[in-house]
Structure 1
Amino acid sequence: MNIVQQLIKEFQLKEFQVTNTMKLIDEGNTIPFIARYRKEQTGELSDTVLRDLAERLNYLRNLENRKEEVHRLIDEQEKLTPELEEKIKKANTLQEVEDIYRPFRPKRRTRATIAKEKGLEPLADIIYGQTLNTEEIMVAAEEYIDSEKEVSTIEDALNGAMDIIAETVSDNADYRKEIRSMTLKEGIIISKAVDEKTSSVYEMYYDFKEAVKTIADHRVLAINRGEKEEFLKIKLDINEEAINYYLKKKIINNDGKKNIYLETAIEDAYKRLISPSIEREIRGFLTEKAEEKAIKVFGENLKKLLLQPPIKDKVVMGFDPAYRTGCKIAVVDGTGKLLETTTVYPTVPQNDIIGSKNKLKQMIEKNNVEIIAIGNGTGSRESELFVAEMLSEINRSVYYMIVSEAGASVYSASELASKEYPDINVSIRGAISIARRVQDPLAELVKIDPKHVGVGQYQHDVNQKRLDEALTGVVEDCVNSVGVDLNTASPSLLQYISGISKAVAENIAKYREEEGKLTNRNQLKKVKRLGPAAFIQCAGFLRITDGENPLDNTSVHPESYKAAEALLNNVAFPLKNLNNKSLNDLREKLNNIDIEDMAEKLNIGVPTLKDIAKELKKPGRDPREEMPKPLFRTDVLKIEDLKVDMVLMGTVRNVIDFGAFVDIGIKNDGLVHISELCDKFVKNPMEVVAIGDIVNVKVIGIDLKKGRVSLSMKGIKQNN
């Protein structure tokens, strides 16, 4: 296999894009670095495409290695034929390679190997050769009766021979490939209840069937979980007659003599050996496909969540709701520094509403609180009612918003939280996290294992190693696309920067403590274990505000400083003035340059020059500021307040295969089913909405008993 040509075909890229990307990856460059600073080499491939390409490259290389290994193993058995060599060479998947190797793989003792030990292989060859009819085979079988080998009767001999034939048929790679294809095209997944009288969340799957080729990924994961929890029995149904017909047509020679034993062995091969194996493979294939989709959905949602716009320089009160143990409160200043904490009891069983209001009003006044961030966990809506009522009684402009508290408890009990707030109670740390998530979602959420941020679908059912790898990649891309302040970023944030390991992140923090504020990027070279290669990878993503060189506060890489300075000289703008807030003159000059002519003049690539110009127009720019701002509220709705056809504004909290959940200010988020997202057909909800979007929705259904609300965006004018 020519891996380069394969990748060109699959990704529809040009040869230079694939070869250069492979070279950059092999040299140890990170995906964020390649995506941002090697655009000329890759033809401006995005970080998403680069990650997919790197993953596929790894698979194809593993495939080639396995093909070489299988070739060697069969050759060592002196069974390698030109036909087998060609099959191995043409194999496009690891499954195909394993099918080819199957007959040559060392086997545990099977019914077939036991029959071979009894000397029945020649009889199997006679039956398979179709030179004798049924009666003649029975006569021939008499010769293989041997009581010492536990072949006491003709029936014993024939059964053993058929076992050998069944395994031979089962091991045939071509037969397996065709049967697998038939099963994928025509198979039916059937789900039944283990006990129909038992109530569970899987009731819709108690008598369920769907074609393998059309079953939705989220249904695959749902029935898998139902099976694991022993509520469901799952089987794969396929036209057994059609498969047996195919096998017999392939094996039985029309010119040969018919015998019942060959037909029986073929049927046994499928029923006992091939069918269970193929069913496992198909279930595995469906699960892997569904898991990849779930991981992709999780990754997309996580990206949108991490890139929510920060609410800078605002004093925020974090409100972690609860019942019996009380609501934990933490106030942080505009930089995230903790100012004050307390616990109040406005919810059942204490219902100390007056005392709680008085305490929080004092804190709001004392600390000039501007925003209250309410966690969306247990007691959230009761707390929201309380907060809304309290805000109506004060003379300050204070707003509240509902914030996902997913992972806050995980963070609270973590070693990192203990280091950050050693003298603060574990339960209060959650309120601090909720408050700081409003101020800078990215900086706060990177402290939590991505799996626990609550924007996935069946995240506990998928391959955890694969999930970790994918989500770590998403976090890396987000952190590097935004960049971090070198002097204020926590080690937990720094470790996601291209080229920086956890140990190096800790060393940067230690260097800051010992040497004080860094004033230029070159000082990074003095950090322990941060070598020249790591410096190249990380330097462009680390910002220094008010440093010696204004370019250090941009994503312009140090390797492009000369080009940036030359560009400024060409438009007659002093580098030192880049720190000034008023850059209208520079923006106008940069907008009027001929990019291609200037790139040739400065001897740099057009994509790099475009990026430099973009950074010079807005030094220190945070790309998240271009995202839609969160929805602030001052009042609250109850589900009882809703009416069908009511139009409301809400925030998209989660996007899954079958639609989106929208917070409209009631206890539970409403569901916009995929069929209600817009007037045209929608294949993927992410084509229409993303986490954090502010959308207008219409109420189309209310289930008071279950607390569920159905919403629609069809025919509703959106703000964007």
Structure 2
Amino acid sequence: MSERGILLSHTQADAIKAEEQNGRENRERIVQQVAKELSLSQKQVRTTISLLDEGNTIPFIARYRKEMTGELDENQLREIEDRTQYLRNLEERKKEVLRIIAEQGKLTDDLAASIEKAVKLQEVEDLYRPYRQKRKTRASVAKEKGLEPLAEWLRSEPKQGDALVEASRYVNPDLGVQTAEEALQGAMDIVAEAIADEAAIRAWARKYTMDHGMMVSEAKSPEAESVYEMYYNYREPAKKMPSHRILAMNRGEREDVLKVTLEVDAEPIHRYIAGRWIKGNSAVSGILHSVVEDAYKRLIAPSIEREVRGALTERAEQQAISIFAGNLRSLLLQPPVRGKRVLGVDPAYRTGCKLAVVDDTGKLLEVAVTYPTPPNNKKREAAAKFSELIDKYAVSLIVIGNGTASRETEQFVAEVIAERKDKELAYLIVNEAGASVYSASKLAQEEFPDLDVAERSAVSIARRLQDPLAELVKIEPKAIGVGQYQHDVSQKQLDESLTAVVESAVNHVGVDVNTASPSLLSYVSGVNATTAKNIVKFREENGRFVDRKQLQKVPRLGAKTYEQCIGFLRISDGRNPLDKTPIHPESYDVVNRLFAELGVDLGQVGSKELAAKLAAVDAEAMAARLEVGVPTLRDILDSLQRPGRDPREELPLPIFRTDVLKIEDLTPGMELQGTVRNVIDFGAFVDIGIKNDGLVHISQLSEGYVKHPMDVVSVGDNVTVWVLNVDLKKGRVGLTMRNPQKSAL
């Protein structure tokens, strides 16, 4: 190799080494930053990032890598994942900004250091702002006219001299500068843009506006009625605004009902800018003060208002998504109602109520249609059909969707139950959100090709009581509708968050690989839609799985996927009793050694004798003997004591009803049992058996202070409430969970 070639190869090698070193430093900087933000150890963060980079899923890490992460839960792992991705994107943006400024020949050591130190994207963009390619501005036009020297003269704050006299030297009709006044104005525009581009000023103004700004809304047509009337003349400190009010204002503004502004006292901001740009008295002090006011009013304030409102909206969206996610998880984890044959009812007016009877496994037995509601009002024929189906299939529970005509249908069903005098028969209203979406989907068409859309919906309504999770995973998460302002938030973030919730719920419960649908399997850790279909196809072609190892034969289910998913897949009656537990096959050897220590065998799994022995085990001492982590052994002991346990079964079942309640029946102080249907920022909506759910305001959820309703109640909770007030005209009921008798003491 020539001397020049050797030199080049050394140079390339040095560049590669420098790049690798820079990458290591960036990674370590991210680890330190995430650990600091989340109050975690650097080791926990570093390990978690490595596990994620290796392709491990969050449910798998949370369940089967507890020793490595220090028992971080799913929420902490997702926070690490989110912050790491943000900071990695930030590092990429820093590189791009540094490259662009360097190419302009304007990158100084101080500027590079400031960019490198930035921990927020906004900081980087503020520093980059003066160097960004701008569209034509008043300042850029003035620079083209050769007025930069005059602007520098103003910035130098001369003690003597007349600005107009100085400006007259720059009059040049050929460049478009006709008068000294024009020249001076152009120079002022250049200085104003320089002020507006200063990162420190923008950061200070942004924080001041956020801390002291006032959100103000007014009606564009004050005489018009709308759902936004409370915002027709409204003011509230921006920093204190709850998310639902921010999103409500935004929607009112988008619908052209409201005019929304962010007001802030400009004087303190003027003083701050002047303090940075005006050092003392000079011949041009008055001009510079005017420039400061112009820079703020024309260039800084509008963009800062957009940025602050954008930040408020982002915060509000995150809160709304968080509420939706929490409600969805509670709904998905509702306890299954097992062992009952169910008559599902999709209520309607003109087209009639569609009926679907399913057995205790969810298998469809029969469909029908009746017309007990207006305008048909064929109650006698409908009652006969209901009774026929109830008797034919020994139905013990009628499930009614809560959509159109649900309360009229409920009244009719209550009458049927009363007429039959059947003590074993009851009914229940369920949230049917998303049932129509499912029934029109390709999946529903494949499952029930011979049924129409409404009949499929009735089947879904019946099944979502028997196993809410298995049925609801067939529906796009955001169509389930247990949030607030879900259409006003970032749909991408909403989809990602809700998908993560479904994934978490599915893996928390576990999946019977011999009965699960492709929809359910696709949410199992590491399994995608294609692999899920392959599992079902393999099952159909080869019969039931009898061993977890068989899954390794499924096409496209490789070693990594097997590792991630297998602990969450259950085989209830397989060859190995451990296959029905959440114990990962990688820990089967630990179980064998544990059983040798205890003098028991696999055949005793599920027995009371084994459960008693396991309950008496000292986990820490045994973990040391078996050379296994304490968290892993604790999970093994718990799984062996209750093999095949469904964690949802520990929750109370929904409230079954036999009679209907009317709003006219309610009086203040009346005690009722209800089911929480939705939790929002300002309270919870509770189904008490009337047409509209009653509202328990946040102030009525508990005797003590409540920071957020989700701290007290969750979707699906059975609660005791008392009637506070009844508005018959609007059909609204105010409820309290504070016992009036205790409150009176």
Q: TM-score range by the shorter chain?
A: over 0.9
Written as runs of structure 1 = structure 2, the 5 A alignment for 1:203-352 is 203-352=229-378
Question: Which residue pairs with 1:715 in the alignment?
Answer: 739
Root-mean-square deviation (Å): 1.4
Question: Which residue pairs with 1:175 in the alignment?
Answer: 201
Show CA shifts across 1:548-580 (max 9, x none). 1111111100100111122223222221232x5
Q: Which stretch shifts more, 105-114 or 303-312?
A: 105-114
* Percent of residue pairs bearing the same amino acid type: 56
Question: Which residue pairs with 2:474 in the alignment?
Answer: 447
Report the CA distance between 1:259 and its aligned residue: 4.0
In 2, Cα distance between equivalents of 1:186 and 1:54: 33
2:49 corresponds to which of 22, 29, 34: 22
Question: Which residue pairs with 1:615 in the alignment?
Answer: 639
Letter of the 2:438 counterpart:
Y
Question: Which residue pairs with 2:719 in the alignment?
Answer: 695
Question: Which residue pairs with 1:411 in the alignment?
Answer: 438
Report the CA distance between 1:519 and its aligned residue: 0.9
Question: Which residue pairs with 2:594 in the alignment?
Answer: 567
Written as runs of structure 1 = structure 2, the 5 A alignment for 1:139-154 is 139-154=165-180
Q: In the alignment, is the contact (CA less than 8 A) between 1:39 and 1:608 conserved in 2?
A: yes
Q: In the alignment, is the contact (CA less than 8 A) between 2:669 and 2:740 conserved in 1?
A: no
In 1, Cα distance between equivalents of 2:248 and 2:287: 43
Report the CA distance between 1:64 and its aligned residue: 2.3
Report the CA distance between 1:89 and its aligned residue: 2.7
Q: In the alignment, is the contact (CA less than 8 A) between 1:696 and 1:716 conserved in 2?
A: no
User: Does residue 89 in structure 1 map to residue 110 in structure 2?
Assistant: no
Show CA shifts across 1:322-369 (max 9, x none). 111111111111111111111111110011111100111000100111
Question: Which residue pairs with 1:44 in the alignment?
Answer: 71
Report the CA distance between 1:139 and its aligned residue: 0.9
In 2, Cα distance between equivalents of 1:46 and 1:314: 36
Report the CA distance between 1:255 and its aligned residue: 4.9
Letter of the 1:79 counterpart:
K
Give the secondary-structure state (helix, strand or coil) at the position aligned to 2:240.
coil
Report the CA distance between 1:68 and its aligned residue: 2.8
User: Normalised by the size of structure 2, how large is the TM-score?
Assistant: 0.94
Letter of the 2:373 counterpart:
T
Letter of the 1:370 counterpart:
S
Give the secondary-structure state (helix, strand or coil) at the position aligned to 1:621.
coil
Q: In the alignment, is the contact (CA less than 8 A) between 1:124 and 1:162 conserved in 2?
A: yes
Letter of the 1:535 counterpart:
Y
Q: In the alignment, is the contact (CA less than 8 A) between 1:16 and 1:41 conserved in 2?
A: no
Show CA shifts across 1:15-70 (max 9, x none). 32222111111111000000010011111111111112211111122222222322
Letter of the 1:440 counterpart:
D
1:391 corresponds to which of 402, 417, 424: 417
User: Does residue 354 in structure 1 map to residue 380 in structure 2?
Assistant: yes
Question: Which residue pairs with 1:193 in the alignment?
Answer: 219
Letter of the 2:351 counterpart:
T
Report the CA distance between 1:109 and its aligned residue: 1.3
In 2, Cα distance between equivalents of 1:125 and 1:715: 73
User: Does residue 364 in structure 1 map to residue 390 in structure 2?
Assistant: yes
Written as runs of structure 1 = structure 2, the 5 A alignment for 1:620-699 is 620-699=644-723
User: Does residue 467 in structure 1 map to residue 499 in structure 2?
Assistant: no
Q: In the alignment, is the contact (CA less than 8 A) between 1:678 and 1:715 conserved in 2?
A: no
In 1, Cα distance between equivalents of 2:74 and 2:277: 50
In 2, Cα distance between equivalents of 1:546 and 1:360: 37
Q: In the alignment, is the contact (CA less than 8 A) between 2:344 and 2:399 conserved in 1?
A: yes
The number of residue pairs the alignment matches comes to 714
- The answer for unaligned runs of 5 or more in structure 2 is 1-25
Letter of the 1:522 counterpart:
K
In 2, Cα distance between equivalents of 1:101 and 1:506: 49
In 1, Cα distance between equivalents of 2:270 and 2:616: 73
Show CA shifts across 1:597-633 (max 9, x none). 1111111111111111111111111011011211111
Report the CA distance between 1:395 and its aligned residue: 4.3
Letter of the 2:647 counterpart:
P
Letter of the 1:577 counterpart:
Q
Written as runs of structure 1 = structure 2, the 5 A alignment for 1:427-576 is 427-576=454-603
Letter of the 1:594 counterpart:
D
Report the CA distance between 1:132 and its aligned residue: 5.8
In 2, Cα distance between equivalents of 1:448 and 1:601: 47
Letter of the 1:281 counterpart:
E
In 2, Cα distance between equivalents of 1:257 and 1:502: 74
2:183 corresponds to which of 131, 135, 157: 157
Q: In the alignment, is the contact (CA less than 8 A) between 2:426 and 2:658 conserved in 1?
A: yes
User: Does residue 76 in structure 1 map to residue 103 in structure 2?
Assistant: yes
In 2, Cα distance between equivalents of 1:164 and 1:624: 66
Question: Which residue pairs with 2:17 in the alignment?
Answer: none
Question: Which residue pairs with 1:382 in the alignment?
Answer: 408
Report the CA distance between 1:464 and its aligned residue: 0.3
In 1, Cα distance between equivalents of 2:301 and 2:194: 15
Q: Which stretch shifts more, 138-147 or 550-559?
A: 138-147
Give the secondary-structure state (helix, strand or coil) at the position aligned to 2:169.
helix
Q: Which stretch shifts more, 11-20 or 595-604?
A: 11-20
Letter of the 1:648 counterpart:
L
Show CA shifts across 1:500-526 (max 9, x none). 011111111111121111111111111
In 2, Cα distance between equivalents of 1:508 and 1:132: 84
Show CA shifts across 1:667-719 (max 9, x none). 0000000000001111111111111111000101110000000000113799x
- The answer for unaligned runs of 5 or more in structure 1 is none
In 2, Cα distance between equivalents of 1:244 and 1:342: 74
Give the secondary-structure state (helix, strand or coil) at the position aligned to 2:334.
coil
Show CA shifts across 1:204-223 (max 9, x none). 00000100111111100000
- Taking structure 1 as reference, are residues 689 and 267 closer, same or farther at Cα in structure 2, changes over 3 Å only? same
Show CA shifts across 1:190-214 (max 9, x none). 0000100111000000000100111
Question: Which residue pairs with 2:7 in the alignment?
Answer: none
Show CA shifts across 1:64-94 (max 9, x none). 2222322222222221223212322332211
Letter of the 1:232 counterpart:
L
In 1, Cα distance between equivalents of 2:716 and 2:99: 54
2:452 corresponds to which of 425, 429, 433: 425
Letter of the 1:195 counterpart:
S
Report the CA distance between 1:260 and its aligned residue: 3.4
Letter of the 1:165 counterpart:
V
In 2, Cα distance between equivalents of 1:10 and 1:478: 27
In 1, Cα distance between equivalents of 2:216 and 2:308: 13
Q: In the alignment, is the contact (CA less than 8 A) between 2:615 and 2:641 conserved in 1?
A: no
Give the secondary-structure state (helix, strand or coil) at the position aligned to 1:653.
strand
Question: Which residue pairs with 1:123 in the alignment?
Answer: 150
Q: Which stretch shifts more, 182-191 or 66-75?
A: 66-75
In 1, Cα distance between equivalents of 2:723 and 2:428: 21
Letter of the 1:621 counterpart:
R
Q: In the alignment, is the contact (CA less than 8 A) between 2:337 and 2:467 conserved in 1?
A: yes
In 1, Cα distance between equivalents of 2:118 and 2:46: 23
In 2, Cα distance between equivalents of 1:714 and 1:519: 52
Show CA shifts across 1:460-509 (max 9, x none). 00000000000000000000010101011000000000010111111111
